[in-house]
Structure 1
Amino acid sequence: MSIVVVATLHPKPEHRAAVITALETAIAAVHDEPGVEVYALHEGEDRLVMIEQYASHDLMAQHGRGKNLANLRAALDGKLTAPLDVQVLTPRPAGKPELGTLR
């Protein structure tokens, strides 16, 4: 079963554009990593949210140890109002199969 990660970032207002640019750069690279099923940026008024989905825990861990995430963390240094809030979730399908999970 896939693993879902929701990472919430709160950029400092003066760094919002730079944070978005850093995320967009990372997204392009991460899309080529093995086991990445979804790696997508979403915007809220005061936050940015990454919705991520991996084929397995091992492939998610590989992403966590990889250079793309290291580069992103370096690019975000000093630009957030709080540490990243990262939640690792296991899907709990319900209802129609095609609507009850991300994929």
Structure 2
Amino acid sequence: MSEAVVVTAIFRPVAGARDEVVRALSSGIAEVHSETGCELYAIHDAPDGTIVMIEKWSSNADLDAHAAGEIVARMTAPLAGLLESPAEVTRLAPIPAGSSYQGQL
């Protein structure tokens, strides 16, 4: 069995574009939750003004299929010109600590 993968994606909106970025990213969240392997897909405001997406996928294969899919393309197309830099996407691996429940998302 594959190990689940947690992802962070950090979006840095240009001045005045926060609401447009949130709107674009929010547009497909319900659909993404219906994709195979999606366990968590949520966006958050960070104190520095960035938008942070936190994702959890059942496997790297499921995440790869999602990343190459039509929903992501539709969500990210409107971001052209709205970000200071490309999104910073990081795949994370848990470091065991405490119980299996306490040590990972």
- Superposed pair shares fold, TM > 0.5: yes
Runs of at least 5 residues in structure 2 that lack an aligned partner in the other structure:
none
Aligned partners of 2:96 and 2:25: how far apart in 1? 29
Deviation at 1:97, TM superposition (A): 2.1
Q: Which residue of 1 aligns with 2:94?
A: 91
Contact kept, 8 Å, 2:41 with 2:53, in 1: the verdict is yes
Q: How many residues align?
A: 102
Does residue 1:79 correspond to 2:82, yes or no?
yes
Q: Which residue of 2 aligns with 1:3?
A: 5
Q: Which residue of 2 aligns with 1:68?
A: 71
Does residue 1:47 correspond to 2:53, yes or no?
no
Q: Which residue of 1 aligns with 2:14?
A: 12
TM-score by length of 2: 0.91
Aligned partners of 1:48 and 1:97: how far apart in 2? 28
Give the partner amino acid of 1:58.
Answer: A
Contact kept, 8 Å, 2:35 with 2:66, in 1: the verdict is yes
Contact kept, 8 Å, 1:38 with 1:51, in 2: the verdict is yes
Aligned partners of 1:54 and 1:93: how far apart in 2? 18
Give the partner amino acid of 1:33.
Answer: E
Q: Which has the higher helix share?
A: 1
Contact kept, 8 Å, 2:24 with 2:76, in 1: the verdict is no
Aligned partners of 2:41 and 2:92: how far apart in 1? 14
Deviation at 1:3, TM superposition (A): 0.6
- Once superposed, which parts of structure 1, at least 4 consecutive aligned residues long, lie more than 6 Å away? none
RMSD: 1.0
Q: Percent identity?
A: 38
